[in-house]
């Protein structure tokens, strides 16, 4: 239960942060209170490392909706632990950084940290879920919390647009993911992920397998900003920089990659999955790296670099996904090496990209701009930030003595070994190698060019919106610690291998034996093609950085972005939806009633189409005499008359007479209880209508509009037929199983002694709950209106 306790602790800290809203002075400490959550989370998951290494899997399952296999099912294996550590440890740095970045006077701190804590909790929920529906709930919570964080500065139009764009795309992917999970449930009969893995071969042979693959890939690609769903990530950079460093570089965008890793045993059985993931990743990598060079905003450069690096990781997942087809043969090691490289690069990317974002945030905070055309020579005033961003940029570019070099080497090795995989041939291997090398050259160019343009050259204080910037030590501390980790991991990388990466591989495969084929990271592999490719990237990149005017090329180059296409689709959708809503919601009650009744009639008609029309000739008709016939004639005559009468009070009185006629029918049919109820209700409603209309001007209705009246008559006749049909169906209910026997067993099913109490408290619990909520909402509404009236009277008196 310790994992449940961790989630409860995070929720408690959220409540404490919420409590700081009560006093402005307490709100200043919201960030320090929120910082406790990632610290506690990081300590907890570090404490779990020895158990996970020994394959002692922490598993907690609390029953919820057993009939649909929807349960609170949490499982901490090696893969979950890997991502949980990433979320928690990066979270510690980001939360501390946010306390220095945000203004205590101008920013609403409690709201920001509540959103950030909600996001962290949601991410931990995704990676620890062992139930697909539970994972989907947390998946959408990350989209909601991301929307709230991106739109944190909601008074800025770019923040609004970025939040809406990211929300639309990621929620669309979430719905696709839910569709895939429902398909999996229809095939396997379970939502439990471990049980799904046990039935992976049955899933692969099912006709729904390819649709399942497509739906899950859409979910993963939208979340991880893969081409062509990448457009939301640059727009999301309008969020505060701590949000960019945490959500859109280290954690949220990794949720899609986690999904790909988690479902490799199932999805990897499809060669389509392997090809699509590999080439979408490589296309995203080169697209992001080329576009990064063309940006002027530092955060935009990092946004496209994130897209590129995510594509690189996704391509490694695709190359290694064939492990599902060859878990025990000679090909196993080739797949495991690539998957290992993908996990290792996840760590490296989180570290150097987090440091870069924090450095950019400090520059923006202290100089007032992120435009590289206005920045130069900042090494003189921001020396520590210069070192941080230089080492982080070189690590991203794959320079030796830094951790990024190791994973870049392993990436190249994986591309070269693609020829040995059964899914690839020599031609495909050459294609992936060329794309990987070209994208890596552009990665090196923008990594070093960004540092060169901002920190080197002459310093011009007069060009900065904020003069005389300085470098607070606590502000630069988180990025400095991350920067120190870059060379440390290069020299002692196998600490990660032993304690984090190998358990993560075991979590993917579910087998402890994979440890035997897991690679050992080495700084020197001798002179080989991977080293040659790295040398080509560095040499060509250095020449390009110092010999090419990239700003001039960016100004003259054509726009490679497809954001305009998305914007055009969005605007068209907005116009169409606005037109549709205005046509449907036209403030006419009759219009709403017509559409509601027609929808109900269509629903009933579809039901009859599926089940068949009731057998009218078999229906028993009760005996009737002259009084029943006379009463029926009166009802019909009054109903027809109501369509021609234009005075409201007259209509109310005639409608009441029809209700009393129905009372007579109940009496004639020997149902005195129904007759009494009908009589009371009809009397009260008629009196209320008369009292209400007597206080209003008796405005006669306008002239008869024949087409509208004809429409009303048609709808009324349709509804009459529908109601009579439902009566016929109810008359034939003897042929259907009755629910009364189920309710009769209330004592055995619920332990209750009163059948009415059991129905209300157990069988109709949700209905009763919502009835109570309706009463509460109504009471609050009445109280609000009365309170508003009192205030208005007081204001008028004053």
Structure tokens at 783: 């109280």
The verdict on 472 and 538 lying in the same domain is yes
Rg (Cα) of the chain, in Å, rounded? 33
DSSP structure class, residue 573: H
Count: domains in the chain:
3
CB 305 within 8 A of CB 287: no
Per-residue pLDDT band for 672 (boundaries 50, 70, 90) equals confident
Q: How far apart are alpha carbons 79 and 500 in whole angstroms?
A: 9
Q: Is 548 helix (H, G, I), strand (E, B) or coil?
A: coil
The verdict on 653 and 729 lying in the same domain is yes
The verdict on 297 and 439 lying in the same domain is yes
User: What would the mean pLDDT of 357-386 be, rounded to a whole number?
Assistant: 89
The verdict on 393 and 540 lying in the same domain is yes
Tell me the residue length of the chain: 798
**DSSP for 65-98?**
EGGGTEEEEEEE-HHHHHHHHHHHHHHHHHHHHH
User: What would the mean pLDDT of 281-294 be, rounded to a whole number?
Assistant: 90
pLDDT > 70? residue 137: yes
The verdict on 623 and 526 lying in the same domain is no
The verdict on 724 and 750 lying in the same domain is no
Percent of the chain whose pLDDT exceeds 90: 37
What pLDDT does 755 receive?
73
The verdict on 315 and 342 lying in the same domain is yes
CB 443 within 8 A of CB 282: no
CB 402 within 8 A of CB 486: yes
Residue 362 placed within a domain? yes
Is the whole model's pTM more than 0.75, yes or no? Answer: yes
End residue of a domain, out of 710, 740, 770? 740
CB 378 within 8 A of CB 476: no
Structure tokens at 463: 């060009």
Which is more confidently placed, 153 or 218? 218
End residue of a domain, out of 511, 544, 577? 544
Give backbone dihedrals phi and psi of 767, rounded to 5 degrees, phi first.
-60, -45
Best CA proximity match to 424, nearest among 437, 412, 414, 435: 414
- Which helix (H) or strand (E) element contains residue 61? strand 58-65
Q: If you average pLDDT over every residue of the chain, what do you get? A: 85
Q: Kindly provide the b/e burial profile for residues 722-744, where b requires at least 16 CB atoms within 10 angstroms of the residue's own CB.
A: beebeeebeeeeeeeeeeeeeee
Place of tokens 């000739």: 617
The verdict on 723 and 750 lying in the same domain is no
Residue 244 placed within a domain? no
User: What would the mean pLDDT of 346-358 be, rounded to a whole number?
Assistant: 92
Q: How far apart are alpha carbons 661 and 675 in whole angstroms?
A: 10
- Lowest-pLDDT range, 47-51, 325-329, 654-658? 325-329
Q: Is 59 helix (H, G, I), strand (E, B) or coil?
A: strand
End residue of a domain, out of 705, 725, 740? 740
Most confident of the ranges 583-592, 701-710, 717-726: 717-726
Q: How far apart are alpha carbons 629 and 636 in whole angstroms?
A: 11
pLDDT in tens, 95-127: 999 998 887 766 678 889 999 999 999 999 999
The verdict on 787 and 718 lying in the same domain is no
CB 152 within 8 A of CB 42: no
Residue 696 placed within a domain? yes
Q: What are the contacts of 537-544 at 24+ separation with CB within 8 A?
A: 537/397, 537/398, 537/408, 537/437, 537/440, 537/441, 537/443, 537/444, 538/397, 538/398, 538/399, 538/444, 540/441, 540/444, 541/397, 541/441, 541/444, 541/445, 541/448, 542/444, 542/448, 544/441, 544/445
Structure tokens at 343: 């996990």
What pLDDT does 621 receive?
66
What pLDDT does 487 receive?
94
What pLDDT does 797 receive?
43
Residue 190 placed within a domain? no
Count of other CB atoms within 10 angstroms of residue 557: 12
Residue 598 placed within a domain? yes
What pLDDT does 731 receive?
67
Structural domain of 705 = 587-740
pLDDT in tens, 52-88: 998 888 889 988 888 788 889 999 999 999 999 999 9
DSSP structure class, residue 703: -
Residue 274 placed within a domain? yes
The stretches of 612-701 forming alpha helices (DSSP H) are: 626-642, 648-668, 672-694
The verdict on 464 and 498 lying in the same domain is yes
CB 265 within 8 A of CB 200: yes
Residue 23 placed within a domain? no
Best CA proximity match to 287, nearest among 371, 223, 226: 226
Q: How far apart are alpha carbons 465 and 444 in whole angstroms?
A: 30
- Which helix (H) or strand (E) element contains residue 62? strand 58-65
What pLDDT does 391 receive?
95
Per-residue pLDDT band for 793 (boundaries 50, 70, 90) equals very low
Residue 646 placed within a domain? yes
Best CA proximity match to 215, nearest among 282, 270, 144, 287: 270
Q: How far apart are alpha carbons 198 and 200 in whole angstroms?
A: 6
The verdict on 486 and 625 lying in the same domain is no
Count of other CB atoms within 10 angstroms of residue 470: 8
Q: How far apart are alpha carbons 46 and 84 in whole angstroms?
A: 10
The verdict on 467 and 595 lying in the same domain is no
């Amino acid at each position: 239960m310790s994992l449940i306790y961790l989630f409860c602790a995070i929720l408690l800290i959220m409540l404490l942060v919420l409590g700081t809203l009560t006093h402005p002075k307490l709100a200043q400490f919201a960030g320090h209170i929120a910082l406790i959550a990632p610290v506690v989370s990081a300590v907890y998951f570090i404490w779990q490392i020895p158990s996970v290494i020994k394959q002692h899997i922490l598993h907690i399952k609390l029953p919820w909706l057993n009939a649909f296999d929807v349960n609170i099912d949490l499982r901490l294996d090696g893969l979950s632990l890997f991502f949980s550590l990433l979320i928690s440890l990066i979270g510690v740095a980001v939360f501390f950084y946010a306390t220095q970045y945000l203004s205590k006077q101008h920013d609403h701190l409690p709201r920001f940290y509540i959103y950030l804590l909600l996001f962290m909790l949601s991410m931990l929920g995704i990676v620890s879920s062992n139930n697909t529906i539970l994972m989907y709930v947390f998946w959408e919570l990350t989209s909601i919390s991301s929307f709230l964080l991106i739109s944190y500065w909601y008074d800025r139009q770019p923040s609004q647009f970025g939040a809406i764009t990211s929300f639309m795309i990621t929620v669309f992917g979430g719905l696709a993911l839910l569709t895939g999970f429902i398909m999996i449930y229809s095939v396997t009969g379970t939502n439990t992920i471990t049980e799904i893995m046990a039935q992976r071969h049955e899933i692969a042979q099912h006709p729904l397998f390819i649709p399942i693959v497509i739906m899950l890939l859409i979910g993963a690609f939208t979340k991880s900003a893969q081409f062509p769903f990448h457009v939301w990530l640059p727009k999301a950079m309008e969020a505060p920089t701590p949000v960019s460093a945490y959500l859109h570089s280290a954690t949220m965008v990794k949720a899609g990659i986690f999904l790909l890793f988690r479902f490799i045993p199932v999805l990897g059985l499809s060669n389509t999955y392997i090809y699509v993931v590999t080439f979408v990743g490589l296309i995203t990598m080169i697209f992001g790296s080329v576009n990064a060079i063309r940006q002027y905003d530092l955060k935009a450069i990092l946004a496209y670099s994130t897209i590129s690096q995510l594509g690189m990781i996704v391509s490694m997942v695709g190359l290694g996904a064939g492990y599902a087809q060859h878990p025990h043969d000679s090909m196993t090691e080739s797949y495991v090496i690539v998957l290992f490289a993908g996990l290792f690069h996840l760590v490296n990317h989180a570290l150097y990209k987090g440091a870069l974002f924090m450095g950019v945030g400090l520059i923006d905070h202290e100089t007032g701009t992120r435009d590289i055309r206005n920045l130069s020579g900042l090494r003189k005033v921001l020396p520590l930030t210069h070192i941080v961003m230089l080492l982080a940029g070189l690590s991203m570019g794959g320079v030796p003595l830094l951790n990024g070099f190791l994973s870049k080497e392993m990436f190249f090795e994986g591309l070269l070994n693609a020829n040995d995989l059964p899914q690839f041939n020599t031609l495909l291997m050459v294609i992936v190698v060329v794309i990987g090398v070209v994208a890596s050259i552009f990665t090196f160019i923008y990594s070093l060019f960004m540092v060169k343009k901002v920190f080197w050259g002459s310093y011009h204080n007069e060009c900065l919106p904020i003069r005389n910037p300085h470098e607070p030590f606590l502000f630069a501390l988180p990025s400095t610690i991350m920067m120190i980790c870059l060379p440390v991991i290069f020299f002692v990388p196998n600490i990660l291998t032993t304690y984090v990466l190998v358990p993560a591989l075991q979590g993917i495969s579910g087998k402890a034996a994979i440890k035997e084929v897991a690679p050992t990271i080495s700084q020197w592999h001798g002179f080989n093609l991977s080293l040659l490719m790295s040398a080509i990237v560095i040499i060509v990149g250095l020449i390009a950085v110092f010999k090419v005017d990239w700003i001039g090329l960016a100004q003259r180059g054509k726009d490679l972005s497809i954001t305009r296409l998305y914007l055009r689709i969005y605007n068209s959708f907005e116009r169409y939806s606005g037109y549709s809503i205005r046509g449907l919601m036209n403030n006419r009650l009759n219009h709403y009633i017509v559409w509601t009744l027609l929808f109900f009639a269509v629903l009933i008609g579809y039901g009859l189409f599926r089940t068949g029309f009731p057998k009218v000739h078999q229906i028993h008709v009760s005996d009737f005499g002259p009084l029943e016939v006379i009463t029926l004639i009166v009802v019909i005559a009054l109903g027809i008359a109501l369509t021609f009468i234009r005075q409201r009070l007259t209509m109310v009185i005639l409608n009441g007479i029809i209700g009393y006629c129905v009372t007579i029918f109940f009496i004639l049919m020997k149902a005195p209880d129904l007759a009494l109820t009908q009589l009371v209700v009809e009397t009260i409603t008629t009196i209320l209508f008369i009292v209400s209309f007597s206080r209003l001007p008796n405005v006669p209705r306008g002239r008869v509009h024949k087409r509208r009246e004809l429409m009303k008559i048609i709808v009324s006749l349709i509804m009459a037929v529908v109601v009579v049909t439902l009566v016929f169906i109810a008359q034939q209910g003897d042929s259907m199983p009755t629910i009364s026997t189920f309710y009769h067993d209330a004592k055995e099913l619920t332990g209750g002694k009163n059948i009415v109490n059991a129905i209300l408290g157990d069988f109709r619990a949700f209905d009763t709950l919502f009835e109570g909520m309706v009463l509460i909402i109504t009471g609050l509404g009445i109280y609000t209106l009365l309170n508003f009236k009192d205030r208005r009277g007081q204001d008028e008196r004053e």
